[in-house]
Chains A and B, each alone.
Chain A
Amino acid sequence: MSKTASITGGSAFRFGLLLLAMPLLLWLFLLVILPHMDLFLVSMRERISYGKYEFSLINYIEFFAEPLYWNTYVRTAVMSIFATILTLVIGFPVSYYIAKVMRGKGKNALFLMCLIPFWVSELVRTFGWMILLRESGVISNFLQWAGIADGPVEMLYNDAAIMVGLVYTSMLFMVVPLVSVLDSLDDSLIEAGYDLGGNAFTVTRDIVIPHAMPGIASGCIVVFMLTLGNYLTPNLLGGKDSLWFTEQIYTQFITRFNWESGSAFGFLLLILSSAIVWIGLKLSKQTLSETVG
């Protein structure tokens, strides 16, 4: 009796659990697994003629054979890593100031000021930078007015402009996790560090940064992935020389209508971001679960 009861009870419980998990499972399957499986399958075939396909690695071979492709690939990775580091270097003191130095209303106001630019779309923010940086823009005019430059100065369409845009776009995603992790650092730990003879540098190195490591790692992962997959900012601020890998994917899909090659590139970008995040976690001795949780 009790045995059958427990069996039916168990299956009812399992069914309920399944029902509860259904939205998540559907989301994972339909929006994550299924498209990637299809992407993978498309990337592994070659178009022979109209409506006729064959299994082939030609798309991947093409990528390695054409220097422009993998140069863009490596350049995108390096620039993204650099943008992430730059965001961290700028974001950390800002976060420390918000979390540990400011008190009360000023703290909220400062945090809000970091948030406000994100109320408008990335496109509008990027155009804002273009207004500042272009040949006939605000900074160029100011330099001429101040007598520092003789003629119009073009500050758009170079790597520095891309970097400025990327760091600005990513800042919030670095500041939010850092502020929350630094908020959780007990002030008395910092005071104890000083009390035992530490100075600003050693206290930051030995106490603040080790404590903030999960926040640093999660901020860096988010910023790196956003940067690597960014299309708008490099395209608008870097112009036709920006050579960002997402632009290559766009070109394959939309301009060349070569879905096979585009899928292969998309898969390579996924591998790149996964590999670099994995290496970053190994280097910082963090685990993904610690960072996300």
Chain B
Amino acid sequence: MADQFDLECRNVVKTFDDFTAVNDISLAIPKGSFFSILGPSGCGKTTLLRMLAGFQAPTSGDILIKGASVLGVPPNRRPVNMVFQHLALFPMMNVAENVAYGLKRRGVDKATITQKVNETLARVGLPDAGPKQISQLSGGQKQRIAIARCLVLDPAVLLLDEPLGALDLKLREHMKVELKQLQHEIGTTFVYITHDQSEALVMSDQVAVMNAGRFEQVGAPQDLYYNPKTAFVAGFVGESNRWHGTVEGGDDHKIEINLASGGKVIAKRDGQTNLVTGQGVDVFVRPEAIAIDGTEGADNSLSAKVDNVLFNGAASSLQVRELVTGHEMTVALPQTGAFASVKAGDEIRLSWSVEQTRCFASTEGGAGA
């Protein structure tokens, strides 16, 4: 029942004057999971998080923590704690005082505070950092102290507001793994908001993709990547080649589409019975789903000319231009050695299957969803 969930939102709406920042969001986060909210900047994810923390009140709807409504409960009485975007460690206190701050406010006695602070610092891997000043810590260490400062209070839910944003790339990659591991070890429910899809996909049990104040899709990372339910999710999560076209025909399993740029592709229907002949659609194909010099008889195939070889180790890709229409595409270039000789100006044959082709009612076409 309700108490299985650490955090629940029921039809939460937040409006600022005429602007609706969060539009009818419902979610339920099971105990001990890592839940991410992924969306572009301005999609309302920070507003949602601030409502969970208690810094803003929803216009309508209800927020429940461990089954009890927290509407009207100020941030200092909510059993949630927040790791801020720029961490917000108190520079006027040393590390131990930062971690002890919340316990002191609760009136815990000194011996217990010292013991708990030491335990928590050990848990985040910085047992000797206590007497250090905040300015003496590296970016990754600050990160861990900010988390320790919240964890020492045993919150029901830990909210994280893009805390990796300020770190350099290498450290960010490292912290992603570390954060996931930490969450796994301590078992606290994490709600993590980010605009970086890689962070969300790598760390989360569940990801909610948010756009314009609404959840587009909630699911496991694999789900979002392989079975996007909307054009926004298909375009936002992972790389995609995108075409615009109109539905020409098809059956229960596949849809034939005439591309606006010329040519024809066949896409998976995926239960979308609303797509009828003549409707505008967006077609998405992942770069790694396209085979170079594919076998004859594939569902979709076309010829293209290589514009550029973008070498980036295992993530190398080709920028190609379709011979007939001139449509630009990106194709993953497997570094198995088989295509080592491909260079700019080469003509190649590309193919991919129906299963790997998604289409969604076009957002620009005006035909409606």
Contacts and interface: CB of A to CB of B under 8 A. Distances in A.
Contacts of A207: 90, 92
B105 interface: yes
A interface, over-half SS: helix
B76 A192 contact: no
Nearest to B99: A196
Contacts of B150: 196
B75 A194 contact: yes
A207 B86 CA distance: 16
Given A195-B53, A196-B149, A197-B153, A188 B101 contact: no
Nearest to A199: B76
A199 B75 CA distance: 10
Interface in B36-93: 53-55, 74-77, 81-82, 84-86, 88, 90-93
A191 B83 CA distance: 11
B106 interface: yes
B140 interface: no
Contacts of A211: 91-92
Interface in A191-219: 191-199, 202, 206-207, 210-211
Contacts, number: 58
A206 B88 contact: no
A186 B153 CA distance: 23
A207 B93 CA distance: 9
Given A195-B75, A195-B76, A196-B149, A189 B105 contact: no
Interface in B293-319: none
Contacts of A206: 90, 92-93, 101
Contacts of A198: 76, 101, 105
Nearest to B50: A191
A17 B104 CA distance: 54
B102 interface: yes
A199 B102 CA distance: 11
A191 B92 contact: no
Given A195-B81, A196-B153, A206-B101, A189 B90 contact: yes
Contacts of B105: 196-199, 202
Query: Could you say which interface size class chain B belongs to?
Result: 20 to 34
A197 B76 contact: yes
Given A191-B75, A191-B84, A197 B90 contact: no
Given A194-B75, A196-B101, A210 B92 contact: yes
Interface in B120-164: 149-150, 153
B327 to A, nearest CB: 45
Contacts of A196: 76, 81, 101-102, 105, 149-150, 153
Contacts of B81: 195-196
Contacts of A192: 82, 84, 88, 90
A206 B93 CA distance: 9
A171 to B, nearest CB: 27
A202 B102 CA distance: 11
Interface string B271-301: 0000000000000000000000000000000
B106 A197 contact: yes
A186 B86 contact: yes
B102 A188 contact: no
Nearest to B150: A196
A218 to B, nearest CB: 17
Contacts of A194: 55, 74-76
A188 B85 contact: yes
Contacts of B153: 196-197
Contacts of B54: 195
User: Which 9 pairs show the lowest CB-CB distances between chains A and B?
Assistant: A197-B105, A196-B102, A210-B92, A192-B88, A188-B88, A188-B84, A194-B75, A197-B76, A194-B76
Interface of A: 186, 188-189, 191-199, 202, 206-207, 210-211
